[in-house]
A and B are shown apart, each in its own frame.
Chain A
Amino acid sequence: MAEETLLTVEDLSIAFSQGGRETLAVDRISFDIKKRETVALVGESGSGKSTTALSVMKLLPYPSASHPSGKILFKGKELLGMSENEIRHVRGNDITIIFQEPMTSLNPLHTIERQIAEILDLHQGITGTAAQARILDLLSQVGIPDPAGRLKSYPHQLSGGQRQRVMIAMALANEPDLLIADEPTTALDVTVQAQILRLLKEIQTRHGMAMLYITHDLGIVRKIADRVCVMSKGKIVEQGPVEQIYTAPAHPYTRALLAAEPKGIAPPLNDAAPVVIKTDNLKVWFPVRRGLMRKVVGHIKAVDGVSVEVREGETLGVVGESGSGKTTLGLAIMRLIASDGPIVFMGKTVQGLQFKEMRPFRRNMQMVFQDPYGSLSPRMSVADIISEGLGVHHPKMTAAERDRRVLVALNDVGLDPATRFRYPHEFSGGQRQRIAIARAVVLEPDFVVLDEPTSALDMLIQAQIVDLLRDIQKRRKLTYLFISHDLKVVSALASRLVVMRNGKVVETGPAAEVFKNPQSEYTRALFAAAFSLEAVPGAVVAQ
C-alpha cells in the first residue's frame, strides 16, 4: 500500500485581519493525502476545517486572509505561491470542491446542462454533441433518474439531494485527482445523506480519486474515511487511521467528541396523567390559486389530518424528513398559523381563537426555535429578550421581581446571570440556544414546543442541550413536543413517537417500541439511514 502522496499540507497557518486585528484561524497544521485515499477533517464549527479546505484551492478572501507560515504541495508543486492564472488551471481540473449548500451553489438562472457544459468547455474544450454525451454520462454516473429529461431542468426543479448529485457530476466532469467535499450532506435529510455518501464512495473507487472530506459528524467519518484529522480551535489535535481514532483516541478532545452522543432515558409514559394537548384530524392546507379570478385549484397539504395527544410530563417526538410537515404541525399547535380541526389545550378548545384571545394561553405554551442565531433579536439585551414575555403576561410585575425571574431562568439554563446585559452576538450558538430556552421557561409554562432546538449546534453542544432540556423538564414538570429530524436526539428525549411523511402520520406509538420494532417500511428506511447511514434501495424514501 505504498501509494504516492498527492497532497501535502505542511505547517500551514491562516490568519484573517479585520479592523486592524489579526485572528489566527488555522494554526500550523500538517497532514497529507495519498492517492485513492479519503481523509476526513473533523471538528466543531469554527475549528478552521472549511478554511483549511478553501486554502487548498486558494479560495480564501485574499488579501484579508494571509498565510503566516506553511506550504501546500500538490503533486510536488507549491500551490500557495502560484499566480491566479496558474491556480485557476489546478482548480476544477485537478482539484474540485463540493459545497455544503446545494440550494445556493448552483446558478438558479441556468439549466443543468448549461452549467455542466460550461465546465467541459472551459477546461477541456468539449462542446456540441460530444459535450452533451459526456453530460448524460456524468448525470447517469451520479444516479440522476432520467438524465436526458433532466438536461433542461433548472436547479429549483430538483430536490436537494438531486442538486447535490448535480454538484458532484460537475465536480467529476474533469476527472479530478482530489475531490474536496465540504460537509456535502449537512443540509440534506438523513435518508438522502445515506444515498449521497454511498454515491461518493462508489465514484471514488471507480475513478481512483483521493477525497478530503470535511464534516462535524463522526458517524459519517467512520463510514467513509480511511484516515482522520481531528481539528479543534485551528489545530489538528490528533490524526491517524479511522480504527485507531475510534478505538484508542489519544487526545481528550477526541474522546469528548466521541462521547458526545446524546444519551439518557426519556421520561416514562403515564397513561393516567392528564392530557395537555390534543389535536384531532388537524389540517393545514395552503391553497394553490390560479388564473385571473384566483380560483383555488388545489391545496398543498402541509399537515393533513394529524391527531396527536400529549400527556403531562411526557415528551412527544415528531420525526420525519424535511417537508414532512413537522414544523408546520408545531406552529399550528402553537396557533401561529391558521389550521383546521380542533386543538384542545388543557381541556379548553383553543382552535379558532383570535390572537388577543389566545394571549392568556400563551403563558402556558411556549416554543423554542431551530436557529439560535435567528431566534434572538440582535438589538435587545439578553435580559430584555427573556423578560419580554413577562411584560406581556404580567404587566403589573415590578421591575425587581421581573429581574429576579430572569435570574432564576438564567440559572436554570446554566448561564451566568451576570451576562444578562450583553447582546446575543456575544454568545456562542449553544449559549444562545440556552437563552432561547430561558425565554420560554421564564413564563413557567406547562407545555413547550421544541422545533429542532439542537440541529444548528455542534455535537458536543447538542449533547449538553439535550441534557439541559431533560433536566428542566424534570425540575419544572414540563410537557414537550419535540420536533427533530435527528433520530439520535429524539431517542434520548422522546417517550412517545410520531413519524410523519408528506403531512401524514406514518407510524405512532411509545418511542421504545417504535425504535425497537418499526412497523412501516418508511420508518425502517429512516432508521437505517439515521443510525447506520445505510441507504435502502428502492423508492421508499425521497431521492
Chain B
Amino acid sequence: MDAKAEVGRELSEKIDETSSVSPLGAVVPPERRRIVLSPINKRRWENFKSNRRGYWSFWLFLVLFFVSLFAEFIANDKPFMIRHDGRLYFPAVVTYSETDFGGEFETAADYRGGYMQKLIAEKGGSIWWTPVRFSYDTINLDLPTPAPSAPTWSLTEAQCMAVVKKKGLKSCSDLEYNWFGTDDVGRDVVARLIYGFRISVLFGLTLTIVSSIIGIFAGAVQGYFGGWTDLLFQRVIEIWTSVPSLYLLLIISSVLVPGFFVLLGILLLFSWVSLVGLVRAEFLRGRNFEYIQAARALGVSNAVIMFRHLLPNAMVATLTFLPFILSSSIMTLTALDFLGFGLPPGSPSLGELLSQGKSNIQAPWLSLAGFFSVAIMLSLLIFVGEAVRDAFDPRKAFR
C-alpha cells in the first residue's frame, strides 16, 4: 500500500513539474477563469463520458425529462393552435370560451366535441392538434370496448364496428389511437404516462434538492462544531431514523389531505437524514485540514469557512449520492401512490397506474406500461448514478 502511495506521490509530483508552467508562463486572462472547468473537473467529466452507459442514460433521461416538461404540447385534449376567422388561438396555453369562436356559452371551449369543430370548420379555420389528443384526465367517450380498453392497434374490426359506425368512419385505423390502451375509467395511458413521468421526476427532484439542502446544513453544523452539538444531534437523528417512517406516512396522509406539497412535506420529514452522516463525516475530516486552520488564523468567520472551504469537499460525496436519492424519492412516491395514500385521485401517477394494473389483471397493457416506465426511469437514474460515482472516484484507473 505504502509503496503504491509513494509511487503515486512521486508520480503526481513528476506530473506537476512537467505540467505546471513556470511562474513566467502565459497569463491566464482573469475574465475566463470562472467558466473554464478546473482540470480535476475536466478529468471527472471525461471519466463520466467514458462510461458510455451512464453517459447515454444521462442524455436520454435529460431528453425525456425536457420533453415531459412540455407535456401540454404533446398530449392534450386542447389543440396546440387554431386558426379561426383570420386569428391565431393557442388553446393549450390560454383558456378560451366558446363565445370566442362564435359559440353560445361563456364556458370553456370543449375542442373534442363535434360542436366546436364544426364552428371552426364553418369559418374555414384549421386546427393543429398535439401528437396525442388526450390529456391525462380526458375520458375517451368513444371507446370501442368497455374500459379498460385495449390498445387501439390490437383491436379487431368487429370490436371497432360500433364506434366506427357512430363516427361515420371507415375502419379501426381511422380512430383516435390509444397507443397503450386506456385505464379503467377510459383515460389514455400514454398521456397519463407522460404527465406521470413529469410529476414523478419533479417531485423527486424537489424532494432531493430540499432534503439535500437541509441534510447538508445539518451535517455541516454537526461536523464542524463537533462536541456536544454533534452528540445531541446524532442521538436525535438516531431516534428519528428508528421511527417506522412508512407507517407514519400512512397515518399522516390519512389525516391530512394529500397533495403535491403535503406529500413533499411529509416525505421531507424523513428523507433529510440520508445525507447528514455523509456530510458530517466530510466536515469532521475537513475541519482539521491545515487550510482550515489557516483560514481561522486569518480571522475568517465560521460560516464563511464552512461555506467556502469545507462545503466544496463535501459536495463530491453529496453529488455522488444525489442520483440515488432522486431514484429513491421517486420510488417512495410511487409506492405511496400504489397503496393509495399518495397524490389525490385523478392525478397522473405511475403508482396509481400500477395499482390499476394489479386490479385489472385482464388488461396487461396497464401493468406492462406502468412497469416499464418505472423500470426504465429508475434504471436510467441508477446508471447515471454509477457513472457519477465512478467519475468522482479518485482511485479509478485511467486509460
A binds B: yes
Task: Mark A residues whose CB is within 8 Å of B.
Answer: 16-20, 23, 25, 45-46, 48, 50-51, 54, 57, 59-61, 64-65, 97, 99-101, 104-105, 182, 233-234, 331, 334, 336, 355, 358-359, 362-363, 366-367, 369-371, 374-377, 379-381, 388-389, 392-393, 415-416, 418-419, 421-423, 425-429, 431, 436, 439, 443
Report whether A427 and B20 are in contact in the complex, using a CB–CB cutoff of 8 Å: yes
The verdict on A374 contacting B290 (CB below 8 Å), with A48-B10, A48-B14, A99-B6 known, is yes
Q: Which among B21-29, B140-148, B327-335 touches the partner chain?
A: B21-29
Contact of A18 with B10 in the complex, beta carbons under 8 Å: no
Contact at A59–B10, with CB atoms within 8 Å? no
Q: Are A23 and B11 in contact, with the CB atoms below 8 A?
A: yes
Report which of A16, A57, A233, A367 forms a contact with B297, defined as CB distance below 8 A: A367
Does B294 sit at the interface, judged by CB under 8 A?
yes
Q: Is the interface of B mostly helix, strand, loop or mixed?
A: helix
Compute how far the CA of A334 lies from the CA of B293 in the bound complex, rounded to whole angstroms: 11
Please tell me if B105 contacts chain A, counting CB pairs below 8 Å: no
The one of A48, A99, A359, A418 in contact with B299, judged by C-beta atoms closer than 8 angstroms, is: A359
> Do A375 and B3 touch across chains, with their CB atoms under 8 A apart?
no
Checking B18, B290, B300 against A371 with a beta-carbon cut-off of 8 angstroms, the contacting residue is: B290
Tell me whether B1 is interfacial, beta carbon within 8 Å.
Answer: yes
Q: CB of B66 within 8 A of chain A?
A: no
Q: Any chain A CB within 8 A of the CB of B4?
A: yes
Contact B13 A45 (CB under 8 A): yes
Contacts of B301 in A (CB 8 A): 392
Give complex CA distance A186, B20 in Å: 26
- The yes or no answer to B112 lying at the interface (CB within 8 A) is no
Q: A392 to B1: give the CA distance in the assembly, Å.
A: 42
Total count of chain B residues near the partner, CB < 8 A: 51
Which of these, B11, B23, B297, contacts A416 with CB under 8 Å?
Answer: B23
Contact of A61 among B7, B26, B296 (CB under 8 A): B7
A159 to B124, CA, bound (A): 96
Near A by CB (< 8 A), chain B positions 277-323 give 289-291, 293-302, 308-309, 312
- The A-contacting residues of B in range 1-54, CB under 8 angstroms, are 1-7, 9-11, 13-21, 23-28, 30, 33, 38-40, 43, 46
Q: Considering only CB atoms, which chain A residue lies closest to B38 in the complex?
A: A423
| Inter-chain contact A54/B3, CB cutoff 8 Å | yes
Q: Which residues of B pack against A, CB within 8 Å?
A: 1-7, 9-11, 13-21, 23-28, 30, 33, 38-40, 43, 46, 289-291, 293-302, 308-309, 312, 397-399
* Secondary structure class of chain A's binding surface, majority of residues: loop
What residues of chain B lie closer than 8 Å to A375, measured between beta carbons?
290-291, 293-294
User: B312: which A residues are within 8 A, CB to CB?
Assistant: 379
Query: 10 other contacts beyond A23-B14, A381-B33, with CB at 8 A cut-off?
Result: A46-B13, A50-B6, A65-B7, A355-B302, A367-B294, A375-B290, A377-B308, A388-B295, A418-B28, A421-B28
Q: Are B15 and A419 in contact (CB under 8 A)?
A: no
The answer to whether A362 touches B3 (Cβ under 8 A) is: no
Shortest C-beta distance, A423 to chain B (Å), equals 6
Instruction: Report Cα–Cα, A234/B17, bound state, in Å.
Output: 12
9 contacting pairs across A/B (C-beta < 8 A): A18-B15, A19-B46, A23-B11, A25-B14, A362-B298, A375-B293, A379-B312, A418-B23, A418-B27
Hey, which chain A residues are within 8 Å of B5, CB to CB? Answer: 104
Q: Chain B contacts of A104 at CB under 8 A? A: 1-2, 5
State the Cβ distance, A174 to closest chain B Cβ, in Å. 18
Whether A362 contacts B299 by the Cβ 8 Å rule is yes
Taking a contact as CB atoms closer than 8 A, the residue among A19, A105, A331, A358 that contacts B43 in the complex is A19
Which residues from chain B contact A428 at a C-beta distance below 8 Å?
13, 16-17, 20
Which of A23, A64, A99, A374 sits near B2, CB closer than 8 Å?
Answer: A99
In angstroms, Cα B43 to Cα A99, docked, is 31
Q: Which residues of B contact A425 (CB under 8 A)?
A: 16, 39-40
Known: A60-B7, A336-B296. A374 touches B28 (CB 8 A): no
Contacting residues, chain B, for A97 (C-beta < 8 A): 3
Q: A166 vs B20: C-alpha distance in the bound complex, in angstroms?
A: 40
